[in-house]
Structure 1
Amino acid sequence: MCQVTEEQEERSIVSLYRRLFLLNASVLVVAVLLLFGPVTVSTPVLLGEAVVLVAGLLVLLVANAVLLRVGLGPLQRLTRAMRTADLLRPGRRAAVTGRGEIADLTRTFNTMLDRLEAERATSTARVLSAQEAERRRIAQELHDEVGQTLTAVLLQLKHAADHAPAALRPELHQAQETTRAGLDEIRRIARRLRPGVLEELGLHSALRSLASEFSTGGLTVRPRIDAGLPKLAPETELVLYRVAQEGLTNTARHAGATRVELRLRALPDGGVGLRVRDDGRGIGTAPEGAGLTGMRERALLIGAELTVGDGADGGTEVRLDTTSGGPSTRTAA
């Protein structure tokens, strides 16, 4: 069987311009032939001839509109695909229909999306990796430098209070309590920047610790973690932890909620699913901020699907579902 060369294939594809030109030219040629043939025009124009001319014009306009609609339909679909393209929601592609320039343009657009999504995933991975490294550095400095300095200040205040006159001791004790509260806040910030419990005790303990940390000020976080979850890669555990952390942070700051369910469960396809659902006011029509954008970028790193919206019973629900067999899970030893 002989193979058709690329040049022969290109010659066999009639361009969009030629198709439209030939279609319109055919209609006009037919109209002119009719004028030279059975259809004639008198001077002045008779009523019957005017009716024929108007009817012919309407037929030409309708035929031209239908032909243009058919010819330009794929271009309109491609335009809609371009308008709705979102690199944070990958995988959406314009359907390639027919042959010719529009089909080539659609394939080129899809190829461009493939390249952009791959480049964005690579650049996002580098940025988030650098961000995590910077967080670890800052957390270490907070713990080693600021934490030790405040600890030394506490010891000095205690020594001063023990040897100070009785009138000054209440103020020194108050300074001790203020310094101790600042030290606790520094440690809390360091834990958020670098989740040491995640590295030392694993995702289960890290999520329970996170739930306990946010269960303050009228907000109750109930963790529900299923047993028998598949073994997860370290980068996947970090993404799950960060998404849960950001979801709880948004709830505490904006939702006005009193209860939050933090759920980690196994999915039927072998992946894992994270859910953060609150009883607050819901997300409504509020635009996505930097926090949600960051969660979507993290989800892309492990090939997971992130959905954020109103819960079935009100409030806001954040869902992150990983897939089996990808970079998100590993077979347990």
Structure 2
Amino acid sequence: MPQALPTPQSGDVFLRISAHLAERTDIASALAAVADEIAEVIPFTHADLCLIDRPGWLASYEVGIRTRWSRARTRLDAAPIRDLLTGKCEFMLCHDAMTDPRQTFPGACSEPIFNHKLRSRVHVLMKVMGQPIGTLNISHATPGLYTPETVTRAQHIADVLSPYFHALHTAELAQRATRVGHEARAREEGLRQGALELTQALEQQQQRIGMDLHDQTLADLTRLLRDVTSEAAVPPNDLAQRITETIGDLRRIIDTAVPTLLELFGFAHAVRVHLERAVGSAPIRIEVTDDSDGAPERLDPTVRTALFRITQEAINNAARHSGARRIEVRIDPAPPGGLVLTVRDDGCGIPAEPPRQSGLTNIRTRARLISARLDIASAGGTTVRVALEGQP
């Protein structure tokens, strides 16, 4: 036999609920403010409001126990209350939700039911102007506690709560839309500024490549031509050595301009090769670790190239300016579907007023253009950390 619910001690419970709600401006505090009054009408272990947040998605606000339901939005088709919101029933009354197939169907977001033994459950619709805006959900660990009378009580509570929480939720959605709009405009301005800075950086890079070709490769070829056409015989071994060195210099310039290794052998291998070249014969220990199961290879090609350029610049700074004895590059997963790339050295760190800012500027610009989170720390060496969220 189901246990009898206590009768409310005072007839002004609903007036007190209205008075509490009139003083609140956000959903969470408003629900907490009326929790005692709800418990006076219907004892509960857990209670929550599940509001339609956007088409197909629900937002939950809880009292009594905090669960995953309020930590993230829930898809309607995975919610234990889906039958109620899709019109299959007018209310839901569960003797034991842990064994009720309406609550624990395959794919259901029902972990809190089992984690907190929410056995007795009652769910009723919240409506405004005849349209559902969500549900009031009340649960208790005791099985079979709630009865049809509980449904009636819950519906009375829901009818009182609905207009208040609809107004609060509408205001919250408007604030969110305003915030999203501001963030979108800020991102657009950041991309515009970033594109301008990158254009300037690319122009500088082209000028540098031209100077390298003029000052180094062209000069080397001119000397070779002079040696070959001079009357003095040049030993073949010397000539071969000079040609080999010129080819090597030209290859380094080309590799800087076009990351062919990235396309041919993949991200981690290209990073290792660049790190070995940057270090050269210096006594610097190097390490490249990819624990992301090849996540860089799944990036959009433009994003992957930008990430490689950031890595190149960070490695060059560490190899040329830090005096490091160790340089490490790590690629780690960042669920869901993202990655974190870290370039760390044990060198002298970044000076308070570095003589050359273009390298760090290029890193920041490229990170902004691919919407990556960038952290540069200078303590016990330098750490450059780039985080990319998963791409749809």
- What is the TM-score of this pair, normalised by structure 2? 0.44
Residue 281 of structure 1 pairs with residue 351 of structure 2: no
Structure 2 matches for 1:77-156, cutoff 5 A?
A: 115=185, 117-125=187-195, 128=198
Question: Judging changes above 3 Å, is the alpha-carbon distance between structure 1 residues 269 and 136 closer, same or farther for their aligned structure 2 residues?
Answer: farther
286, 303, 323: which one pairs with 2:389? Answer: 323
Q: Matched residues in 2 for 1:246 and 1:289: separation?
A: 12
278, 299, 311: which one pairs with 2:367? Answer: 299
- Write the letter of the residue equivalent to 1:322: L
Residue 251 of structure 1 pairs with residue 318 of structure 2: yes
Question: Judging changes above 3 Å, is the alpha-carbon distance between structure 1 residues 286 and 153 closer, same or farther for their aligned structure 2 residues?
Answer: closer
Unaligned runs of 5+ residues in structure 2 are 1-177
Question: Judging changes above 3 Å, is the alpha-carbon distance between structure 1 residues 205 and 299 closer, same or farther for their aligned structure 2 residues?
Answer: same
What's the secondary structure of 1:277's corresponding residue? Answer: strand
Q: Matched residues in 1 for 2:342 and 2:252: separation?
A: 24
Q: Which has the higher contact order (CA 8 A, sep 6+)?
A: 1
What's the secondary structure of 1:223's corresponding residue? Answer: strand
Report the Cα offset of residue 233 of structure 1.
Answer: 1.1
Aligned to 1:97: none
Residue 183 of structure 1 pairs with residue 250 of structure 2: no
Question: Judging changes above 3 Å, is the alpha-carbon distance between structure 1 residues 137 and 195 closer, same or farther for their aligned structure 2 residues?
Answer: farther
Question: Judging changes above 3 Å, is the alpha-carbon distance between structure 1 residues 126 and 201 closer, same or farther for their aligned structure 2 residues?
Answer: farther
Aligned to 2:376: 308
Structure with higher helix content: 1
**Which ranges of 4 or more aligned residues in structure 1 deviate by more than 3 Å?**
110-117, 125-140, 146-157, 172-176
Question: Judging changes above 3 Å, is the alpha-carbon distance between structure 1 residues 200 and 155 closer, same or farther for their aligned structure 2 residues?
Answer: farther
Unaligned runs of 5+ residues in structure 1 are 1-107
Q: Matched residues in 2 for 1:135 and 1:201: separation?
A: 25
RMSD after superposition: 4.1
What's the secondary structure of 2:249's corresponding residue? Answer: helix
1:243–1:295: 8 Å Cα contact kept in structure 2? yes
Report the Cα offset of residue 229 of structure 1.
Answer: 3.4
Report the Cα offset of residue 298 of structure 1.
Answer: 0.8
**How many residue pairs are counted as aligned between the two chains?**
209
- Residue by residue over 1:148-172, the C-alpha shift from the partner in whole angstroms, topping out at 9 and shown as x without a partner, is 9978997996x879xx87xx344x6
1:229–1:272: 8 Å Cα contact kept in structure 2? no
What's the secondary structure of 2:313's corresponding residue? Answer: helix
Structure 2 matches for 1:194-209, cutoff 5 A?
A: 194-209=258-273
Q: Matched residues in 2 for 1:212 and 1:131: separation?
A: 25
Percent of aligned pairs with the same amino acid: 29
1:136–1:194: 8 Å Cα contact kept in structure 2? no
2:217–2:249: 8 Å Cα contact kept in structure 1? no
- Write the letter of the residue equivalent to 1:121: L
Q: Matched residues in 2 for 1:138 and 1:199: separation?
A: 24
1:154–1:180: 8 Å Cα contact kept in structure 2? no
Q: Matched residues in 1 for 2:292 and 2:181: separation?
A: 42
- Residue by residue over 1:129-181, the C-alpha shift from the partner in whole angstroms, topping out at 9 and shown as x without a partner, is 796699799979x99xx989978997996x879xx87xx344x6435423431
271, 275, 281: which one pairs with 1:211? Answer: 275
Q: Matched residues in 1 for 2:299 and 2:375: separation?
A: 21
Structure with higher strand content: 2
- Write the letter of the residue equivalent to 2:373: E
Question: Judging changes above 3 Å, is the alpha-carbon distance between structure 1 residues 236 and 126 closer, same or farther for their aligned structure 2 residues?
Answer: same
1:304–1:322: 8 Å Cα contact kept in structure 2? yes
Q: Matched residues in 1 for 2:347 and 2:200: separation?
A: 34
